[in-house]
Amino acid sequence: MSAISRSREKWVLLFPAILVLSLITVLPFLQTVWTSFTDAEITAREQQVNWIGLENYIWALTDPDFLEALGRTMYFTVVSVGLEGVLGIAVALLLNQKFRGRWFLRVIIILPWAVPTIVNAVAWRLIYHPDYGALNSLLLQLGFIDSYTSWLGDPDRALNMVILADVWKNFPLVAYIALAAMQTIPGDLLKAAAIEGAGAWKRFHSITLPWIIGPMLVVLILRTIEAFRVFDIIYVMTRGGPSDGTKTASFYVYQEYFSYLRSGSGASYAVVVAGISAVLILAYYAGIRRDQRGA
């Protein structure tokens, strides 16, 4: 079979998937882009939609509330993914050691990631409950606090508490990817380094970390993209409150579109968020290609 025939065969096989993806992603996205240039609103009666050009985008990029939401989203993304990376690698190093019951611990660690996000959010909302939450009870018994605290009732604290719940949900994925990469490190390489006098930190810094950096780059950047679009855990735990302390960009889009019924401006906010996500995706591909060239 010639190269041209093989190329045609690939496109024929891919066509159904491309068609489905176009129907469920490309066409709705193009509709959203078109709507973002109009003054459309979601109303019960018919409305004449007018083309207003870049007005929605100008408003979006100068809206202080939306810019603050983007800032919260960046904070959520950086802190959440950073903690997941550090905790995931630390847990992977532990699970990579030989000790009794290691297999059982490996099974237990994956459970938070296996729990649906909505269930995880509801569970942590109950843990944080100011009256009967398990966190207040535990800290009170240990003597760390003197009275029950409203963990999700303080605008300066609530977002960090949501980050903690998100880290608990997603760090097992990072840990398992790191563990899988560590399993491929030749044992003789680590033994030789130990014989030459390299300590645990030196072996990790010089051998383990460079070895797992490729897979870790993939999972951390994918987690970055997911964290930047965070919505469900925010919706379940705080509804963006208190005092907009946990209102992220995606939640802002949701409110603009479905609460205030301004579909035109809501679509422009959504396109801005999608554009930033696209930049993150490009960074993902650039990082992967750079890692492959380095290998």
Q: State how far the alpha carbon of 252 is from the alpha carbons of 188, 249, 271, in Å.
A: 53, 5, 13
The answer to whether residue 108 sits within a structural domain is yes
Token digits for 46? 């018919």
- The radius of gyration computed from the CA coordinates of the chain, to the nearest angstrom, equals 24
Q: Which residue has the tokens 């709705």?
A: 28
Whole-model pTM: value is 0.86
The answer to whether residue 215 sits within a structural domain is yes
Stronger pLDDT, 46 or 66, i.e. the higher one: 66
CATH number at residue 227: 1.10.3720.10
**pLDDT at 90 exceeding the cut of 70:** yes
Stronger pLDDT, 93 or 50, i.e. the higher one: 93
**pLDDT at 4 exceeding the cut of 80:** no
Predicted confidence at residue 174, as pLDDT, reads 93
What percentage of the chain has pLDDT greater than the value 70?
94
The answer to whether residue 21 sits within a structural domain is no
| pLDDT grade for 86, boundaries at 50, 70 and 90 | very high
The answer to whether residue 27 sits within a structural domain is no
Angle between helices 27-36 and 263-294 (to 10 degrees): 130
- Encode pLDDT of 271-285 as tens digits: 998 888 888 878 777
Q: Which residue has the tokens 């009794």?
A: 100
**Number of domains into which the chain is organized:** 1
Phi/psi for 38 (5° steps) reads: -125, 175
The answer to whether residue 168 sits within a structural domain is yes
The answer to whether residue 48 sits within a structural domain is no
- Encode pLDDT of 192-228 as tens digits: 878 877 777 888 888 888 888 888 888 888 898 889 9
Give the structural domain span for 251: 57-294
- Encode pLDDT of 28-54 as tens digits: 888 888 988 988 888 756 667 888 888
Predicted confidence at residue 47, as pLDDT, reads 67
Predicted confidence at residue 45, as pLDDT, reads 62
**pLDDT at 147 exceeding the cut of 70:** yes
| pLDDT grade for 158, boundaries at 50, 70 and 90 | very high
Phi/psi for 14 (5° steps) reads: -80, -20
| pLDDT grade for 294, boundaries at 50, 70 and 90 | low
Decide if 178 contacts 212 (C-beta within 8 A). yes
Average of per-residue pLDDT values in the chain? 86
